[in-house]
C-alpha cells in the first residue's frame, strides 16, 4: 500500500510497503507525481514485473568503472608477455563518452550513439571490443555489485559493427593533392598540422591529440608518447617533414601541442574530406598511409616499422609486407648474381 506524506512546503514522499518486497521510497515536488509513482509501482508488484531501479539511479558509469578497475580487472586481466593491457584503453573510451550517465539512463539509443560516434574515429573491430567491454562492466554491476539494471543489459540489443577486414584505403596522388588543399583552407588552424603529423609519423589520432610540448624533443628528433593504446610508452622518431611542422606551430600556454578536442578535429577533417570529394576515408586511414609509405621505401625492416608504429606483434604488420614485395624481388635477384 502506498503512503504519501508531505515533507516541507513543496515535497511529497511516497512509500510503498508490500510483504516480500523491499520498501520503496521516493520524493516528488507534487502530490500528483507521488500518487502516479505509487500506483505504477504497486501495479508492477501485482503483475510481478517490478524492478527496483534506485541503485541504478545512484550509480554513474564512472562510479561502476572505478569499482571495476579495483575489484575485477586486476584479477582477470593480467599483463601479456608483451606487456599489453588493452582493457585500459577500452575502459577509458567508455568512461570518456558515457561516464557522466547514471546506469538507469543507459539504454539502446545512448549505446547506439556511442557506437556511431566511435566508428567515425576508429575501426569497427575496435568499437566491437569496446562494446563487449561495456557489456562486461554492466554485467559486473549486476552480478558483483547487486545493481539491478531497469532495462537489463542493453548492449546485447545493439547491433555490433562487423569484424570485417583491416582497412586498406589509400589516397591517389590526385586525392592527396585535393585533401591537402582543403585541409590548408580549413578554418581550424590545427587541422593541416595534425594531418601532416599523422602521415609522417604513423601516430594515432588520440596519440597526436594527447601530445604535450614537454613530450616533443626537436633537438633529438623524437616525441615521447605516454600510456598508449597498448598500455606502454613509446618514442616515435620524427622525419624532417614532421620536424618542420612542429617547428612552425604556435605553442599553447596550456602545454598541449593540439589544444582541441577530438570531436573538433574529426569534424574539421570530415568537412575537408567532403569538400575534396573523397569517399570512404577516415582520419585513422592516415596511419595506414604512413606505415604503407615506410614499407614501400624498402629501407626499413618490419621490426623497425613495428618500433615506429607501436604494433606489439609482427602478425599485425603482415598486411604491409606485400607492399614491398617487388623490392624484395629485386634484392633476391641481386643476391642470386
Residues with active-site annotation: 204, 229, 284, 287, 311, 320
Quote the CA–CA distance of 244 and 193 in Å, as a whole number: 10
Count of residues for the chain? 337
* Closest C-alpha among 210, 76, 80 to residue 133: 76
**Across the strands, what pairs with 6?**
12
**At how many degrees (to 10) do helices 302-309 and 285-297 cross?**
150
- Tell me the C-alpha distance between 215 and 54, whole Å: 45
What is the distance between the alpha carbons of residues 53 and 98, in angstroms, rounded to a whole number?
Answer: 19
Q: Determine how many CB atoms are found less than 10 A away from the CB of residue 162.
A: 9
For 29, list phi and psi in degrees, rounded to 5.
-80, -25
Containing 12, the helix (H) or strand (E) segment is strand 12-16
C-alpha closest to that of 199 among 217, 175, 219, 228: 175
In this structure, what DSSP letter does residue 92 have? Answer: H
Please give the Cα distance from 12 to 29 (Å, whole number).
6
* Phi, psi of 76, rounded to the nearest 5 degrees: -120, -15
Amino acid at each position: 500500500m502506498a503512503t504519501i506524506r508531505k515533507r516541507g512546503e513543496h515535497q511529497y514522499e511516497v512509500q510503498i510497503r508490500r510483504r516480500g518486497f523491499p520498501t520503496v521510497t521516493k520524493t516528488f515536488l507534487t502530490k500528483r507525481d507521488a500518487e502516479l509513482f505509487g500506483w505504477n509501482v504497486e501495479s508492477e508488484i501485482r503483475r510481478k514485473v517490478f524492478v527496483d531501479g534506485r541503485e541504478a539511479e545512484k550509480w554513474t558509469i564512472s562510479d561502476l568503472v572505478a569499482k571495476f578497475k579495483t575489484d575485477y580487472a586486476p584479477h582477470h586481466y593480467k599483463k601479456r608477455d608483451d606487456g599489453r593491457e588493452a582493457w585500459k584503453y577500452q575502459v577509458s573510451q567508455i568512461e570518456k563518452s558515457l561516464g557522466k550517465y547514471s546506469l538507469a539512463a543507459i539504454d539502446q539509443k545512448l549505446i547506439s550513439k556511442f557506437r556511431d560516434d566511435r566508428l567515425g574515429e576508429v575501426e569497427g573491430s575496435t568499437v566491437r571490443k569496446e562494446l563487449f567491454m561495456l557489456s562486461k562492466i554492466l554485467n559486473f554491476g549486476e552480478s558483483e555489485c547487486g545493481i539491478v539494471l531497469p532495462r537489463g543489459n542493453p548492449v546485447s540489443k545493439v547491433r555490433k559493427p562487423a569484424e570485417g577486414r583491416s582497412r586498406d584505403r589509400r589516397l591517389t596522388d590526385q586525392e592527396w593533392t585535393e585533401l591537402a588543399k582543403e585541409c590548408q583552407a580549413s578554418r581550424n588552424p590545427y587541422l593541416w598540422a595534425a594531418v601532416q603529423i599523422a602521415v609522417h609519423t604513423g601516430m594515432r589520432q588520440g596519440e597526436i591529440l594527447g601530445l604535450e610540448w614537454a613530450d616533443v624533443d626537436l633537438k633529438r628528433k623524437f616525441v615521447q608518447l605516454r600510456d598508449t593504446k597498448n598500455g606502454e610508452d613509446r618514442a616515435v622518431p620524427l622525419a624532417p617533414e614532421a620536424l618542420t611542422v612542429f617547428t612552425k606551430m604556435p605553442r599553447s600556454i596550456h602545454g598541449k601541442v593540439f589544444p582541441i578536442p577530438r570531436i573538433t578535429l574529426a569534424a574539421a577533417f570530415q568537412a575537408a574530406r567532403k569538400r575534396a570529394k573523397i569517399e570512404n576515408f577516415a582520419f585513422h586511414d592516415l596511419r595506414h598511409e604512413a606505415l604503407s609509405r615506410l614499407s614501400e621505401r624498402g629501407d626499413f625492416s618490419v621490426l623497425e616499422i613495428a618500433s615506429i608504429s607501436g604494433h606489439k606483434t609482427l602478425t599485425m604488420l603482415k598486411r604491409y609486407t606485400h607492399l614491398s614485395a617487388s623490392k624484395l624481388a629485386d634484392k633476391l635477384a641481386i643476391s642470386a648474381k
